Amino acid sequence: MKSILLLNTQQSDFSLQFDKILKRAKLDIQGVEKIVKEMLDSIRLQGNKAILEHILAFDNWNPKNFEDLKIPENSMQQAYDNLDDKLRCSLQEAYNRIFDFHQKQKPKTWLDFEENGSILGQKITPLDRVGLYIPGGKAAYPSSLLMNAIPALVAGVKEIVVCTPAPCNEINSLLLAAMYLCGIKEAYKVGGASAIGMMAYGIDNAIKKVDMISGPGNIYVATAKKCVFGEVNIDMIAGPSEIGIVADSNARADYIAWDLLSQAEHDEMASSILVTTSQKLASEVSQRINEFLLKLPRAEITAKSIYNRGAIILTQSLEESIQLSNAIAPEHLELLVSNPLEVLPQIKNAGAIFIGENTPEPIGDYIAGPNHTLPTGGSAKFFSPLSTEHFMKKSSIIAFSKKAMDELGEKCGILACAEGLDAHKHSVLIRLNKKD
Protein backbone atom coordinates (compact mmCIF):
# COMPACT_ATOMS: atom_id res chain seq x y z
CA MET A 1 0.00 0.00 0.00
CA LYS A 2 1.16 3.51 -0.81
CA SER A 3 2.03 6.08 1.79
CA ILE A 4 3.45 9.60 1.93
CA LEU A 5 7.23 9.90 1.54
CA LEU A 6 9.03 9.93 4.89
CA LEU A 7 12.41 11.66 5.05
CA ASN A 8 14.85 12.08 7.92
CA THR A 9 17.48 14.82 7.94
CA GLN A 10 19.93 12.20 9.26
CA GLN A 11 19.64 9.89 6.25
CA SER A 12 22.65 9.91 3.96
CA ASP A 13 20.81 11.01 0.81
CA PHE A 14 18.73 13.66 2.57
CA SER A 15 20.17 16.67 0.77
CA LEU A 16 19.54 14.95 -2.55
CA GLN A 17 15.93 14.23 -1.59
CA PHE A 18 15.44 17.70 -0.15
CA ASP A 19 16.77 19.23 -3.35
CA LYS A 20 13.80 17.68 -5.18
CA ILE A 21 11.49 19.50 -2.79
CA LEU A 22 13.34 22.75 -3.37
CA LYS A 23 12.98 22.28 -7.10
CA ARG A 24 9.30 21.35 -6.88
CA ALA A 25 6.91 22.74 -9.43
CA LYS A 26 9.35 24.59 -11.64
CA LEU A 27 7.01 25.94 -14.29
CA ASP A 28 7.99 24.68 -17.73
CA ILE A 29 7.52 28.04 -19.36
CA GLN A 30 9.99 27.29 -22.16
CA GLY A 31 7.88 24.29 -23.14
CA VAL A 32 4.79 26.34 -23.97
CA GLU A 33 6.40 29.70 -24.76
CA LYS A 34 6.33 29.23 -28.53
CA ILE A 35 2.61 28.51 -28.79
CA VAL A 36 1.75 31.24 -26.28
CA LYS A 37 3.79 33.81 -28.23
CA GLU A 38 2.03 32.80 -31.44
CA MET A 39 -1.32 33.30 -29.77
CA LEU A 40 -0.28 36.69 -28.39
CA ASP A 41 1.09 37.77 -31.78
CA SER A 42 -2.12 36.75 -33.49
CA ILE A 43 -4.10 38.93 -31.07
CA ARG A 44 -1.77 41.86 -31.64
CA LEU A 45 -2.05 41.53 -35.40
CA GLN A 46 -5.64 40.35 -35.94
CA GLY A 47 -7.37 41.45 -32.75
CA ASN A 48 -10.92 40.28 -32.42
CA LYS A 49 -10.67 37.69 -35.19
CA ALA A 50 -7.90 35.82 -33.36
CA ILE A 51 -9.84 35.79 -30.08
CA LEU A 52 -12.92 34.30 -31.77
CA GLU A 53 -10.77 31.62 -33.42
CA HIS A 54 -9.10 30.68 -30.13
CA ILE A 55 -12.47 30.26 -28.46
CA LEU A 56 -13.74 27.98 -31.19
CA ALA A 57 -10.55 25.94 -30.93
CA PHE A 58 -10.24 25.70 -27.15
CA ASP A 59 -13.63 26.38 -25.58
CA ASN A 60 -15.87 24.49 -28.00
CA TRP A 61 -18.30 27.19 -28.92
CA ASN A 62 -18.59 29.59 -31.78
CA PRO A 63 -19.06 33.23 -30.86
CA LYS A 64 -20.11 35.28 -33.88
CA ASN A 65 -18.72 38.60 -32.81
CA PHE A 66 -17.15 40.46 -29.95
CA GLU A 67 -20.56 41.23 -28.42
CA ASP A 68 -21.08 37.50 -27.94
CA LEU A 69 -18.10 37.43 -25.58
CA LYS A 70 -19.56 39.91 -23.12
CA ILE A 71 -21.06 38.54 -19.94
CA PRO A 72 -24.38 40.38 -19.46
CA GLU A 73 -24.61 42.32 -16.20
CA ASN A 74 -28.13 41.06 -15.54
CA SER A 75 -26.88 37.45 -15.56
CA MET A 76 -24.64 38.40 -12.62
CA GLN A 77 -27.48 39.87 -10.62
CA GLN A 78 -29.73 36.93 -11.45
CA ALA A 79 -27.11 34.47 -10.24
CA TYR A 80 -26.72 36.46 -7.03
CA ASP A 81 -30.48 36.60 -6.42
CA ASN A 82 -30.74 32.84 -6.95
CA LEU A 83 -28.09 32.02 -4.35
CA ASP A 84 -29.06 29.86 -1.43
CA ASP A 85 -29.31 32.09 1.68
CA LYS A 86 -26.49 30.46 3.61
CA LEU A 87 -24.16 30.67 0.66
CA ARG A 88 -25.01 34.33 0.02
CA CYS A 89 -24.41 35.12 3.66
CA SER A 90 -21.05 33.28 3.63
CA LEU A 91 -19.97 35.06 0.46
CA GLN A 92 -20.95 38.41 1.97
CA GLU A 93 -19.02 37.69 5.17
CA ALA A 94 -15.96 36.75 3.10
CA TYR A 95 -16.36 39.96 1.09
CA ASN A 96 -16.55 42.10 4.22
CA ARG A 97 -13.55 40.53 5.91
CA ILE A 98 -11.39 40.63 2.78
CA PHE A 99 -12.41 44.26 2.23
CA ASP A 100 -11.50 45.22 5.81
CA PHE A 101 -8.08 43.59 5.66
CA HIS A 102 -7.18 45.15 2.32
CA GLN A 103 -8.18 48.60 3.53
CA LYS A 104 -5.50 48.31 6.21
CA GLN A 105 -2.92 47.82 3.44
CA LYS A 106 -3.86 50.96 1.56
CA PRO A 107 -0.85 53.27 1.33
CA LYS A 108 -1.25 57.03 1.56
CA THR A 109 0.43 59.92 -0.19
CA TRP A 110 2.92 61.62 2.15
CA LEU A 111 4.90 64.82 2.05
CA ASP A 112 7.84 65.72 4.21
CA PHE A 113 8.93 69.31 4.80
CA GLU A 114 12.59 70.13 5.20
CA GLU A 115 13.96 73.01 7.24
CA ASN A 116 15.27 74.67 4.13
CA GLY A 117 11.71 74.93 2.85
CA SER A 118 11.76 72.16 0.32
CA ILE A 119 9.29 69.30 0.09
CA LEU A 120 9.94 65.62 -0.63
CA GLY A 121 7.29 62.97 -0.79
CA GLN A 122 5.53 60.09 -2.44
CA LYS A 123 2.22 60.34 -4.26
CA ILE A 124 0.00 57.26 -4.37
CA THR A 125 -2.39 56.90 -7.30
CA PRO A 126 -4.74 54.00 -8.13
CA LEU A 127 -4.19 52.35 -11.49
CA ASP A 128 -6.69 53.45 -14.14
CA ARG A 129 -7.72 50.10 -15.52
CA VAL A 130 -6.88 46.55 -14.48
CA GLY A 131 -7.64 43.07 -15.78
CA LEU A 132 -8.48 40.11 -13.54
CA TYR A 133 -8.06 36.58 -14.83
CA ILE A 134 -10.30 34.04 -13.11
CA PRO A 135 -9.92 30.36 -14.04
CA GLY A 136 -13.14 28.68 -15.07
CA GLY A 137 -14.26 25.41 -16.49
CA LYS A 138 -15.93 22.81 -14.34
CA ALA A 139 -14.68 24.10 -11.02
CA ALA A 140 -15.94 27.44 -9.77
CA TYR A 141 -13.62 29.92 -8.14
CA PRO A 142 -15.74 32.72 -6.70
CA SER A 143 -13.11 33.11 -3.98
CA SER A 144 -10.51 34.00 -6.64
CA LEU A 145 -12.81 36.71 -7.95
CA LEU A 146 -13.19 38.20 -4.45
CA MET A 147 -9.45 38.00 -3.76
CA ASN A 148 -8.55 39.79 -7.00
CA ALA A 149 -11.40 42.28 -7.30
CA ILE A 150 -11.51 43.53 -3.72
CA PRO A 151 -7.94 44.90 -3.54
CA ALA A 152 -8.61 46.70 -6.85
CA LEU A 153 -11.83 48.17 -5.44
CA VAL A 154 -10.10 49.23 -2.22
CA ALA A 155 -7.27 50.81 -4.23
CA GLY A 156 -9.82 52.91 -6.08
CA VAL A 157 -9.31 51.46 -9.56
CA LYS A 158 -12.11 52.85 -11.74
CA GLU A 159 -12.18 50.25 -14.51
CA ILE A 160 -12.00 46.55 -13.66
CA VAL A 161 -12.19 44.00 -16.46
CA VAL A 162 -12.73 40.30 -15.74
CA CYS A 163 -11.86 37.48 -18.13
CA THR A 164 -12.83 33.87 -17.50
CA PRO A 165 -13.01 30.91 -19.86
CA ALA A 166 -16.49 29.60 -20.67
CA PRO A 167 -16.15 26.10 -22.09
CA CYS A 168 -19.23 25.39 -24.23
CA ASN A 169 -20.36 28.96 -23.51
CA GLU A 170 -21.19 28.15 -19.88
CA ILE A 171 -20.14 30.04 -16.76
CA ASN A 172 -20.50 28.85 -13.22
CA SER A 173 -23.35 30.74 -11.53
CA LEU A 174 -21.46 31.16 -8.27
CA LEU A 175 -18.72 33.04 -10.11
CA LEU A 176 -21.38 35.26 -11.71
CA ALA A 177 -22.85 35.93 -8.28
CA ALA A 178 -19.44 36.91 -6.92
CA MET A 179 -19.05 39.33 -9.87
CA TYR A 180 -22.34 40.95 -8.89
CA LEU A 181 -21.20 41.22 -5.28
CA CYS A 182 -18.00 43.00 -6.41
CA GLY A 183 -19.87 45.33 -8.74
CA ILE A 184 -18.13 44.07 -11.90
CA LYS A 185 -19.53 45.79 -15.00
CA GLU A 186 -17.19 44.54 -17.71
CA ALA A 187 -16.54 40.82 -18.07
CA TYR A 188 -15.70 38.55 -21.00
CA LYS A 189 -15.96 34.86 -21.71
CA VAL A 190 -12.35 34.60 -22.82
CA GLY A 191 -9.77 32.32 -21.20
CA GLY A 192 -6.14 31.27 -21.30
CA ALA A 193 -3.39 33.13 -23.12
CA SER A 194 -6.04 34.83 -25.33
CA ALA A 195 -7.50 36.59 -22.32
CA ILE A 196 -4.09 37.81 -21.19
CA GLY A 197 -3.27 39.08 -24.70
CA MET A 198 -6.65 40.75 -25.08
CA MET A 199 -6.29 42.62 -21.79
CA ALA A 200 -2.60 43.52 -22.32
CA TYR A 201 -2.89 44.85 -25.89
CA GLY A 202 -6.56 45.76 -26.11
CA ILE A 203 -8.73 45.23 -29.19
CA ASP A 204 -9.25 48.16 -31.60
CA ASN A 205 -12.66 49.79 -31.17
CA ALA A 206 -13.74 47.12 -28.70
CA ILE A 207 -11.64 46.89 -25.57
CA LYS A 208 -9.06 49.23 -24.07
CA LYS A 209 -5.76 47.83 -22.86
CA VAL A 210 -5.32 47.52 -19.12
CA ASP A 211 -2.41 48.70 -16.94
CA MET A 212 -2.05 45.57 -14.84
CA ILE A 213 -3.20 41.94 -14.90
CA SER A 214 -3.65 39.76 -11.83
CA GLY A 215 -5.06 36.36 -11.16
CA PRO A 216 -4.16 32.68 -11.17
CA GLY A 217 -4.16 30.32 -14.14
CA ASN A 218 -2.53 27.34 -15.77
CA ILE A 219 0.90 27.22 -17.40
CA TYR A 220 -0.41 28.99 -20.55
CA VAL A 221 -1.80 31.84 -18.51
CA ALA A 222 1.39 32.09 -16.41
CA THR A 223 3.54 32.12 -19.55
CA ALA A 224 1.38 34.72 -21.27
CA LYS A 225 1.58 36.91 -18.16
CA LYS A 226 5.37 36.69 -18.24
CA CYS A 227 5.39 37.55 -21.97
CA VAL A 228 3.28 40.71 -21.54
CA PHE A 229 5.15 41.85 -18.42
CA GLY A 230 6.54 45.30 -19.20
CA GLU A 231 3.70 46.03 -21.60
CA VAL A 232 1.57 45.93 -18.46
CA ASN A 233 2.41 45.08 -14.87
CA ILE A 234 1.45 41.66 -13.48
CA ASP A 235 0.90 40.45 -9.92
CA MET A 236 3.31 37.49 -10.00
CA ILE A 237 3.97 34.23 -11.84
CA ALA A 238 2.30 31.54 -9.78
CA GLY A 239 2.42 27.77 -10.03
CA PRO A 240 0.67 24.88 -8.22
CA SER A 241 -0.52 25.36 -4.63
CA GLU A 242 1.58 24.27 -1.66
CA ILE A 243 1.56 23.93 2.09
CA GLY A 244 4.36 23.56 4.59
CA ILE A 245 3.58 22.63 8.18
CA VAL A 246 6.06 22.98 11.03
CA ALA A 247 4.75 20.96 13.98
CA ASP A 248 5.98 19.68 17.30
CA SER A 249 4.82 16.66 19.31
CA ASN A 250 1.82 18.55 20.73
CA ALA A 251 0.17 18.97 17.34
CA ARG A 252 -2.83 16.86 16.38
CA ALA A 253 -2.26 14.33 13.62
CA ASP A 254 -5.85 14.42 12.36
CA TYR A 255 -5.76 18.20 11.91
CA ILE A 256 -2.48 18.01 10.05
CA ALA A 257 -3.63 15.16 7.81
CA TRP A 258 -6.66 17.15 6.67
CA ASP A 259 -4.57 20.29 6.15
CA LEU A 260 -2.06 18.44 3.99
CA LEU A 261 -4.87 16.81 2.02
CA SER A 262 -6.59 20.14 1.50
CA GLN A 263 -3.61 21.33 -0.52
CA ALA A 264 -3.17 18.01 -2.27
CA GLU A 265 -6.77 18.00 -3.56
CA HIS A 266 -6.15 21.18 -5.59
CA ASP A 267 -3.88 19.65 -8.17
CA GLU A 268 -1.73 16.61 -8.93
CA MET A 269 1.22 19.00 -8.91
CA ALA A 270 0.40 20.49 -5.50
CA SER A 271 2.99 20.03 -2.78
CA SER A 272 2.23 19.25 0.88
CA ILE A 273 5.13 19.01 3.31
CA LEU A 274 5.17 18.38 7.04
CA VAL A 275 8.37 19.14 8.95
CA THR A 276 8.41 17.80 12.48
CA THR A 277 10.63 16.70 15.33
CA SER A 278 8.15 14.01 16.36
CA GLN A 279 8.50 10.49 14.99
CA LYS A 280 5.18 9.58 16.58
CA LEU A 281 3.36 12.50 14.92
CA ALA A 282 4.97 11.63 11.58
CA SER A 283 3.65 8.08 11.54
CA GLU A 284 0.23 9.06 12.83
CA VAL A 285 -0.17 11.71 10.14
CA SER A 286 0.88 9.20 7.50
CA GLN A 287 -1.80 6.75 8.71
CA ARG A 288 -4.49 9.38 8.91
CA ILE A 289 -3.76 10.52 5.37
CA ASN A 290 -4.41 7.02 4.11
CA GLU A 291 -7.66 6.78 6.08
CA PHE A 292 -9.00 10.21 5.15
CA LEU A 293 -8.15 9.83 1.47
CA LEU A 294 -10.86 7.22 1.15
CA LYS A 295 -13.50 9.77 2.12
CA LEU A 296 -12.68 12.23 -0.63
CA PRO A 297 -14.57 12.58 -3.91
CA ARG A 298 -11.38 13.96 -5.48
CA ALA A 299 -9.38 11.00 -4.11
CA GLU A 300 -7.60 10.26 -7.39
CA ILE A 301 -6.04 13.70 -7.83
CA THR A 302 -5.40 13.98 -4.10
CA ALA A 303 -3.65 10.61 -3.89
CA LYS A 304 -1.40 11.39 -6.86
CA SER A 305 -0.41 14.67 -5.29
CA ILE A 306 0.14 13.49 -1.73
CA TYR A 307 1.98 10.26 -2.66
CA ASN A 308 4.09 11.64 -5.48
CA ARG A 309 4.81 15.13 -4.23
CA GLY A 310 4.01 15.19 -0.52
CA ALA A 311 6.58 14.49 2.22
CA ILE A 312 7.06 14.28 5.94
CA ILE A 313 10.51 15.37 7.08
CA LEU A 314 11.76 14.30 10.49
CA THR A 315 14.21 16.78 12.02
CA GLN A 316 16.48 16.89 15.07
CA SER A 317 15.21 20.19 16.46
CA LEU A 318 12.65 22.95 16.02
CA GLU A 319 15.51 25.14 14.83
CA GLU A 320 16.30 22.67 12.05
CA SER A 321 12.59 22.52 11.13
CA ILE A 322 12.50 26.30 10.74
CA GLN A 323 15.68 26.28 8.69
CA LEU A 324 14.17 23.75 6.27
CA SER A 325 10.91 25.69 6.11
CA ASN A 326 12.77 28.88 5.22
CA ALA A 327 14.61 27.01 2.48
CA ILE A 328 11.33 25.62 1.10
CA ALA A 329 9.67 29.08 1.30
CA PRO A 330 6.16 27.59 1.10
CA GLU A 331 3.13 29.43 -0.24
CA HIS A 332 1.22 28.55 2.95
CA LEU A 333 2.95 27.78 6.23
CA GLU A 334 1.18 26.41 9.31
CA LEU A 335 2.96 26.81 12.63
CA LEU A 336 1.69 24.12 14.98
CA VAL A 337 4.22 24.53 17.76
CA SER A 338 3.91 25.23 21.48
CA ASN A 339 5.28 28.77 21.36
CA PRO A 340 4.52 30.14 17.90
CA LEU A 341 5.32 33.77 18.75
CA GLU A 342 8.87 32.76 19.58
CA VAL A 343 9.15 31.12 16.19
CA LEU A 344 7.44 33.81 14.10
CA PRO A 345 10.38 36.26 13.88
CA GLN A 346 12.55 33.44 12.56
CA ILE A 347 10.16 32.71 9.68
CA LYS A 348 11.71 34.51 6.73
CA ASN A 349 10.06 33.00 3.68
CA ALA A 350 6.36 32.16 3.44
CA GLY A 351 3.45 33.63 1.52
CA ALA A 352 1.04 33.40 4.45
CA ILE A 353 1.68 32.15 7.97
CA PHE A 354 -1.12 30.29 9.79
CA ILE A 355 -0.58 30.20 13.52
CA GLY A 356 -2.06 27.69 15.94
CA GLU A 357 -4.46 24.80 15.70
CA ASN A 358 -7.53 26.98 15.12
CA THR A 359 -6.11 28.36 11.90
CA PRO A 360 -6.26 25.70 9.20
CA GLU A 361 -5.04 26.89 5.83
CA PRO A 362 -8.52 26.84 4.17
CA ILE A 363 -9.61 29.60 6.55
CA GLY A 364 -7.16 31.80 4.64
CA ASP A 365 -8.45 30.61 1.27
CA TYR A 366 -11.92 31.93 1.95
CA ILE A 367 -12.74 34.03 4.92
CA ALA A 368 -9.91 35.23 7.16
CA GLY A 369 -9.30 38.40 5.17
CA PRO A 370 -5.71 38.37 3.84
CA ASN A 371 -5.31 37.56 0.17
CA HIS A 372 -5.13 33.95 -0.98
CA THR A 373 -3.10 34.86 -4.11
CA LEU A 374 0.35 34.00 -2.80
CA PRO A 375 3.83 33.31 -4.17
CA THR A 376 4.53 29.62 -4.94
CA GLY A 377 7.47 27.39 -5.85
CA GLY A 378 9.87 29.13 -3.47
CA SER A 379 9.17 32.60 -4.80
CA ALA A 380 8.00 33.66 -1.32
CA LYS A 381 11.70 34.46 -0.97
CA PHE A 382 11.06 37.57 -3.05
CA PHE A 383 7.36 37.94 -4.03
CA SER A 384 4.62 39.16 -1.68
CA PRO A 385 0.93 38.27 -1.40
CA LEU A 386 -1.40 40.09 -3.78
CA SER A 387 -2.33 43.33 -2.05
CA THR A 388 -4.02 46.68 -2.43
CA GLU A 389 -0.60 48.10 -3.33
CA HIS A 390 -0.45 45.98 -6.48
CA PHE A 391 -3.33 48.11 -7.78
CA MET A 392 -1.68 51.44 -7.02
CA LYS A 393 1.53 53.09 -8.12
CA LYS A 394 3.84 55.69 -6.67
CA SER A 395 5.34 58.91 -7.99
CA SER A 396 8.14 60.70 -6.17
CA ILE A 397 7.58 64.37 -5.42
CA ILE A 398 10.42 66.88 -5.24
CA ALA A 399 9.85 70.61 -4.71
CA PHE A 400 13.09 72.42 -3.91
CA SER A 401 13.07 75.86 -2.34
CA LYS A 402 15.48 78.57 -3.48
CA LYS A 403 17.36 78.00 -0.22
CA ALA A 404 17.67 74.26 -0.84
CA MET A 405 18.94 74.94 -4.33
CA ASP A 406 21.52 77.37 -2.98
CA GLU A 407 22.65 74.81 -0.40
CA LEU A 408 22.80 71.75 -2.64
CA GLY A 409 23.05 72.97 -6.22
CA GLU A 410 26.83 73.17 -6.32
CA LYS A 411 27.29 69.65 -4.96
CA CYS A 412 24.79 68.40 -7.51
CA GLY A 413 26.78 70.13 -10.26
CA ILE A 414 30.00 68.48 -9.05
CA LEU A 415 28.41 65.03 -9.23
CA ALA A 416 26.94 65.71 -12.69
CA CYS A 417 30.34 66.88 -13.86
CA ALA A 418 32.02 63.75 -12.47
CA GLU A 419 29.62 61.64 -14.53
CA GLY A 420 30.46 63.69 -17.63
CA LEU A 421 26.96 65.09 -18.02
CA ASP A 422 27.41 68.77 -18.84
CA ALA A 423 23.84 69.75 -19.61
CA HIS A 424 22.89 68.37 -16.18
CA LYS A 425 25.45 70.67 -14.63
CA HIS A 426 24.23 73.68 -16.61
CA SER A 427 20.61 72.98 -15.72
CA VAL A 428 21.58 73.32 -12.06
CA LEU A 429 24.12 76.15 -12.32
CA ILE A 430 21.81 78.43 -14.29
CA ARG A 431 19.50 78.39 -11.23
CA LEU A 432 22.48 79.50 -9.12
CA ASN A 433 23.27 82.26 -11.60
CA LYS A 434 26.65 80.69 -12.15
CA LYS A 435 28.14 80.29 -15.58
CA ASP A 436 30.23 77.27 -14.58
Contacting its own copies (CB under 8 A), which of 93, 300, 319, 342? Answer: 93
Q: How far is the CB of 80 from its own copies (least distance, A)?
A: 13
In the region spanning residues 292 to 351, those forming contacts with its own copies, defined by CB under 8 A, are 292, 295-298, 302, 340, 344, 347-351
**Closest-CA residue to 285 (of 321, 246, 249, 253):** 253
> Which positions from 179 through 208 interact with its own copies, judged by CB under 8 A?
none
Give 405's strand partners: none
- Residue number with CB closer to its own copies (304 or 426): 426
Tell me which amino acid residue 239 is: G
Interatomic CA distance for residues 394 and 225, integer angstroms = 22
Residue 332 annotated to the active site:
yes
- The residue from 44, 394, 433, 434 that contacts its own copies (CB under 8 A) is 394
CA atoms within 13 A on the CB side of 57: 11
| 419 labelled ligand-binding | yes
Under DSSP, the state recorded for 345 is: G
Classified as helix, coil or strand, 70 is: strand
Determine which residue in the list 229, 291, 300, 342 makes contact with its own copies, applying CB under 8 A: 229
Residue 271 in marked binding region:
no
Helix or strand holding residue 142 (H, E): helix 142-155
Q: Interface with its own copies includes 50 (CB under 8 A)? A: no
Q: Catalytic: which of 242, 331, 334, 361?
A: 331
331 is annotated as an active-site residue: yes
Nearer to its own copies (CB atom), residue 192 or residue 409: 409
For residue 160, the cross-strand partners are 130
Among 164, 276, 315, 387, binds its own copies (CB under 8 A): 387
- Which residues contact residue 363 at a Cβ distance below 8 angstroms, ignoring those fewer than 6 apart? 354
Which window, 53-61, 162-170, 314-322, 412-420, contacts its own copies (CB under 8 A)? 412-420
Q: Considering only residues 148 through 167, tell me which ones interact with its own copies, judged by CB under 8 A.
A: none
21 binds its own copies (CB under 8 A): no
Of 94-123, binders to its own copies (CB under 8 A) are 94, 97, 101, 104-105, 110, 112, 119-120, 122-123
45 binds its own copies (CB under 8 A): no
Q: Tell me which residue of 238, 292, 237, 303 sits closest to 267, measured CA to CA.
A: 303
Residues 248-277 that bind its own copies (CB under 8 A): 254-255, 258-259, 261-262, 264-266
CB atoms under 10 Å from CB of 138, counted, come to: 7
CA–CA gap between residue 135 and residue 166 (Å, rounded): 9
Task: For residues 225 and 191, give the distance between their C-alpha atoms in angstroms, rounded to a whole number.
Answer: 13
Give me the catalytic one of 332, 361, 372, 390.
332
Q: Is 23 in the site for its own copies (CB under 8 A)?
A: no
Strands, E, within 235-377: which ranges? 242-247, 271-276, 311-314, 332-336, 352-355
Residue with smaller CB distance to its own copies, 48 or 371: 371
Q: Where are the alpha helices (DSSP H) in 161-230?
A: 173-181, 192-201, 219-228
- Numbered residues of the known binding site for Zn(2+): 263, 266, 365, 424
Just list the catalytic residues: 331-332
